[in-house]
Structure 1
Amino acid sequence: MYLATTAKTVSPNLAPIAEWLGASDPENAVMAYFVMYLIINALSIVVFNLGFARKLPILKTVVVYVVMFLGNFIITILSFSLPIIESLLIAAVILGVYKIQLRRHKKEEAMAENES
């Protein structure tokens, strides 16, 4: 009796962005890490700026960004299997829409006040 077996390579469950960047290939994993790190940093900055209500002094802003950049090393490792980039993108869109609506509402209130 002949038992035919096929060699299957088991690939880890990767997030869609990591899969798209080719992180499943060991040769591309480092490049995918740095690209994902840059994307996560950019989206974190956007979400922070859209979501934080008031301006911080420059030194506090620098501290926040340094801690954010250091923490994003760990978040990037997690983003290989979790949809972190996708979540940050959705958060940025929602906060962007909220800011646009808030700005429009304030403009309408100012115009109504001026007309009165």
Structure 2
Amino acid sequence: MNTNFSPLFNFVVENFHGHELAIFYFANLIFAAIAYKLGFARKLPLLKSLLVYILLAIGSIIITFFSVVGYPITESLIIMSLILAIYRFRLHRERKQKSGV
């Protein structure tokens, strides 16, 4: 029985031999940063913002292990980023229409 739930995992393992961990780490880091920026970020001073992104990089190490095991973590981050991007675009468009521009 195949317990792998991630089609992206299969693709990466078949095409990028030996670099799976780095690929999943950077993909998780990028999409987690996008999701944070689109959905949760506030205006912070530079050092606090830097600390948040450093902690995000450390957290990405942890979720990378789940991606390497075969769980669909990266796919979930991609979908979350897309949904938040659509939400932000629609919110921007709605605010622009309300202001009459």
Q: TM-score range by the shorter chain?
A: 0.7 to 0.9
Structure-to-structure mapping, 1:1-116, within 5 angstroms: 13=4, 15-22=6-13, 28=17, 30-52=18-40, 54-80=42-68, 81-111=70-100
TM-score by length of 2: 0.86
Of structures 1 and 2, the one scoring higher in RCO (CA 8 A, sep 6+) is 2
> Number of residue pairs matched?
99
Identity over aligned residues, as a percent? 32
Q: Which runs of 5+ in 2 are unaligned?
A: none
CA-based RMSD of the aligned residues comes to 2.2
CA 1:79/1:108 → structure 2, altered by over 3 Å: closer, same or farther?
same
TM-score by length of 1: 0.76
Q: Which runs of 5+ in 1 are unaligned?
A: 1-9
Q: Larger Rg: 1 or 2? A: 1
